[in-house]
Amino acid sequence: MSTAYPPERHADALALAQLLRDSLAAGAEREALHLRLSELPAQLRVGPRRELLDAALAPALQPARSRLFALPNGDLVAISPRQGAPMRQAQRALGALLGMPSAAPLLALPRDTLTLMAAVDAAIAADVPIPPRSKDTTPDPAAPFTIDDLAALERALQTADLSFFLQTRPVNRLVPGSPPTPAWEELRLDWPALRAALRLDSDPATAPCLGRRLRRRIEQRLLASMADPLELRQRGPIGLCLSAATLGEPAFLHIDALFGAAQRARVVIALPIADLLADAEGFAFARRFLRVRGYRVALDCRGARDLALLTAATLGDDLLRLPWAPDLPAQAALLPPNRGQVVLMGADRPAALGWGWEEGISLFEGRLLSLFAPGE
């Protein structure tokens, strides 16, 4: 988990992201030619045919201050100041060679910034190593989750070091007129990878009560893996989503004691609204505990329908974690009036960012914006 990030082959992608950010901030007009090599048949990407493509692209790089970026998925992006002719010439040549203009779209910046940003993001995402998973461990959706499955998992979890399955996702704050700034880092369990590693064939969703218990056991184990005083002190602001019932477990209370008061204020703890349905009294108690301890509290929604269920007073001053979904814009009326309380989760698509910006949301979880954050 401690491999250098970003890897060397991401250097161009990150430089391009930086350029896009600067161009957006300055309103500078540029043209971009995106050669989607990753979508072409393999034989076009090597040998003499590749040389033809490179030659066709060459005019795009003639203007002064033009630059070529190689993305980790093999795509090429040529950027040049807006001068017209050479770019269009290159695009025509590429279109003729490939027989399809869509393989090399010509984009105008800053208008198409989000489109290109999404391409950069997708190229990086496709390059992030995924834990190997063989076909025979792919869960069968029909297999019911049983008490014996739970028992086997609890045994396995007793000794497992879950820090290997810990994923981080950035949350960025974006206010109009300034570049995104990192707000905190969400820590979450890579459940598909853990499930594959545990060789779990059945789906806990088929027995939701057992699934809830499993979730609590995993959270306890995860908190135990995190409870290293030195490591905790080195962590920046973090976010965790925990079952309300986990907060009264020794594993959480131990880590709670390790956090100092100053650090608690930098930890966002999200409680699932599903827990409010299962035990409203326990949920309210746990939430008050978090507030007394000085944590930043968030309510974790599964979607707009959860949001519709809350009374006006329930959210209070807490944050609201709302997952992006294409049908979310239709439910905008349900958003809390103070949009500063909303954290749009999974905002990896330009559509999510665009809608969030329009709605006045300023906290976004997802990699896309991190590409635009000032480099370290």
**Which residues contact another protein (rule: CB under 8 A)?**
147-148, 150-151, 154, 207-210, 212-213, 216-217, 220, 245, 247-250, 253-254, 256-257, 276-286, 288-289, 291-293, 302-303, 305-306, 308-311, 314
Strand 296-300 relative to strand 267-272, pairing = parallel
* Minimum separation from the CB atom of position 311 to another protein (A): 6
Question: 131 vs 208, which CB is nearer to another protein?
Answer: 208
* Minimum separation from the CB atom of position 187 to another protein (A): 21
CA 67/CA 371 separation, integer angstroms: 19
* Minimum separation from the CB atom of position 161 to another protein (A): 17
* Minimum separation from the CB atom of position 138 to another protein (A): 22
* Minimum separation from the CB atom of position 140 to another protein (A): 17
Q: What string of DSSP letters covers 106-146? A: EEEETTTHHHHHHHHHHHHHHHS------GGGS--TTSBP-
Q: Which residue has the tokens 């807006």?
A: 82
* Minimum separation from the CB atom of position 22 to another protein (A): 42
Question: 15 vs 253, which CB is nearer to another protein?
Answer: 253
Question: 266 vs 367, which CB is nearer to another protein?
Answer: 266
CA 263/CA 267 separation, integer angstroms: 7
Residues 6+ apart with CB under 8 A from 348: 121, 125, 324, 366, 367, 368
Question: 164 vs 285, which CB is nearer to another protein?
Answer: 285
* Minimum separation from the CB atom of position 83 to another protein (A): 52
> 291-297, long-range: CB within 8 Å, 24+ apart, which pairs?
293/256, 293/264, 294/261, 294/264, 294/265, 295/264, 295/265, 295/267, 295/268, 295/269, 296/265, 296/266, 296/267, 296/268, 296/269, 297/268, 297/269, 297/270, 297/271
Question: 265 vs 278, which CB is nearer to another protein?
Answer: 278
Question: 1 vs 292, which CB is nearer to another protein?
Answer: 292
Tokens standing for 339? 């949009």
